[in-house]
A and B are shown apart, each in its own frame.
Chain A
């Protein structure tokens, strides 16, 4: 079966063609079908909008409540983005540290695991209290806790997955520890790091939302979790769904962007990003 992409005139730029490729069109078509089914079900059963709103109502609410929802979305995204950047930098630093010596790794790795298994729901209120003068910072810390571990774990694995022949080559050429790190171990770890980053992107967003849910904010610096809570209390269910929609779309977009970054960086040499021609 010829893919639709092959039928397009070559005059269209590559990114347009890739957007219209089966990989992108198929899930969109499935999504549209499901949304249509949802709308139909809600109308046919006459479900009240405060139980389950239909997709059309949700989109309308999103448009009308945009002035309230958009600033909150922006706050949530700021928290998630800051947490992701912090997790990336600290994750890289710790992973490189762990890769320097097996003893360091063995001694400290369990504490990195501890971070992963910490339930944010339980810890967030404490952190908010400890950082009471800076809610933003407290929420960033919570989101950082969930986003940190995948980057450390994956990057450490990558740093230790060097091709033994290449390791020998560097040894034969009397490369010092830093040359080996920079020219061999870090490039080797890039695919692993990017895999961890893709996971952490979504987790940073979830962490930002959950932390706010549990800890609460309010005022001008409130995020989408606050909007969802308030909408819930006031039975403004379509608005709640609209906020959830924003979170979902943001999560998908973050993942898509990080995947695109991964493919761009690895396109020349890693099997995950290359076209296989047989």
Chain B
């Protein structure tokens, strides 16, 4: 069952920044991680991939970032220099032996950016995520939320235009999560970032995204694409609005239907 609502009229007029066509991934042991995955990503939008564990959502990010290869299908970028990627993992993955500022500066160091310029860009990124004052602190001394902020700053320091995020706020508490969601929306709006955001939280997916891609597992596939037609960035009371609840319900229904389908496919 594929439910496809038309993407918003304005987005149709710009060229997609990234297209995935019939992408599939099968591991050597025969597990089908992803089957016939299609996605068109418009620039400057947030696309949420939501689904249960094993539905292939992280695999999609890995394929897009070239950390993993696809077995079938095609991945097309708008142009080879239209995309500067950055990736935010599920764990903050900071180098424990380096201070916050050295951690954030790492991508620039690896790219050979001169020190003075690198420090400027790093200070900017630190300010963007609100970690001023913590430059000389070691990761072990930071809370989970702050470590994740550092990880995001590290992703932003190379000034990417595409951000891939794999359940970045999954390990955080509700309040920190809410705050970071808001900060992310602000950031996206400021920098006009294209974001692919993987999550297993329906609420987070609907709150953040222009479009929610609902996935199911066994095999990993898309079951629905739902455009979220609410103003972006969100109004302060969006989370309690009727629109928000309706979209959450729609996503939830697609997910349940998909689980039933998976059972049927397995039998």
Contacts and interface: CB of A to CB of B under 8 A. Distances in A.
Co-complex (A, B): yes
Contacts of A270: 96-97
Interface in A240-278: 268-270, 274
Interface string B101-141: 00000110111000000000000000000000000001110
A176 to B, nearest CB: 9
Contacts of B85: 172
Contact of A183 (B109, B111, B140): B109
A187 B140 contact: no
A173 B95 contact: no
Nearest to B164: A172
A174 interface: yes
Interface string A165-191: 110111111110001000110010010
A179 B139 CA distance: 21
A172 B67 contact: yes
A172 B106 CA distance: 12
Contact of A187 (B65, B95, B110): B95
Nearest to B67: A168
B93 interface: yes
B139 A165 contact: no
Nearest to B91: A165
Contacts of A274: 140
B203 interface: no
Contacts of B89: 165, 168-169
B215 to A, nearest CB: 22
Contacts of A184: 95
Interface centre among A168, A184, A274 (most CB of B within 10 A): A168
B110 A174 contact: yes
A163 interface: yes
A209 B29 CA distance: 55
B37 interface: no
Contact of A269 (B67, B86, B93, B138): B138
A183 B97 CA distance: 10
Contacts of B111: 173-174
Nearest to A271: B140
B161 to A, nearest CB: 15
Contacts of A190: 97
Nearest to B111: A173
26 contacts: A163-B93, A165-B93, A166-B93, A166-B95, A168-B87, A168-B89, A169-B87, A169-B93, A169-B106, A172-B65, A172-B85, A172-B86, A173-B107, A173-B110, A173-B111, A174-B110, A179-B110, A187-B95, A187-B98, A190-B97, A268-B138, A268-B140, A269-B97, A269-B138, A269-B139, A270-B97
7 nearest A-B pairs in the assembled complex, by CB-CB distance: A165-B93, A269-B96, A173-B110, A187-B97, A175-B110, A165-B89, A269-B97
Interface of A: 163, 165-166, 168-175, 179, 183-184, 187, 190, 268-270, 274
Given A170-B110, A274-B140, 16 more contacts: A165-B91, A168-B67, A168-B89, A169-B93, A169-B106, A171-B67, A172-B85, A174-B111, A175-B110, A183-B95, A183-B106, A187-B97, A268-B138, A269-B97, A269-B140, A270-B97
Interface of B: 65, 67, 85-87, 89-91, 93, 95-98, 106-107, 109-111, 138-140
